[in-house]
Amino acid sequence: QVQLVESGGGLVQSGGSLRLSCTASGLTLRYYSLGWFRQAPGKEREAVSCISSIDGTTHYADFVKGRFTMSKNNAKNTVSLYLNGLRPEDTAIYYCAAVDLPHCLVAPYEYWGQGTQVTVSS
């Protein structure tokens, strides 16, 4: 069975950094396009970044561009999100998601993790 498990969230001060990881089981991430999403209280879920399986191209939302970096480690079957220069508005539950499609931008993601909480204090 497919399972995605996020880890690495926590409480950090404004300007700090975190590394989120998503570990997959039941699927081989090499063949999946992957996305990071987040949802803050009272807000809709929004896309943060994604990586396409076909060529490894990454995409970032404007609000994180230049601060966050996404990477995939096929050997470890994990995907990470490096969050730098964190701001209070980055506070949210962060989710990883996967889909067996070559492009990530508009993919209908099939598999989702349980989320990990990121809280940024001012």
| pLDDT, tens only, 1-17 | 899 999 999 999 999 99
Both tokens assigned to 54: 């076909």
Sign, CA torsion 68/117/52/76: positive
The owner of tokens 């994604």 is 50
The owner of tokens 């349980």 is 114
CA–CA gap between residue 10 and residue 108 (Å, rounded): 28
Share of the chain above pLDDT 70, in %: 100
Q: Over the stretch 23-82, which tens digit does the pLDDT of each residue have?
A: 999 999 999 999 999 999 999 999 999 999 999 999 999 999 899 999 999 999 999 999
Largest CA-CA distance found in the chain, in angstroms, rounded: 40
Measure the CA dihedral 29/54/104/78, to 10°.
20
Query: What is the pLDDT at residue 41?
Result: 92
* DSSP 8-state assignment for residue 31: G
Contact 107, 3 (CB under 8 A): no
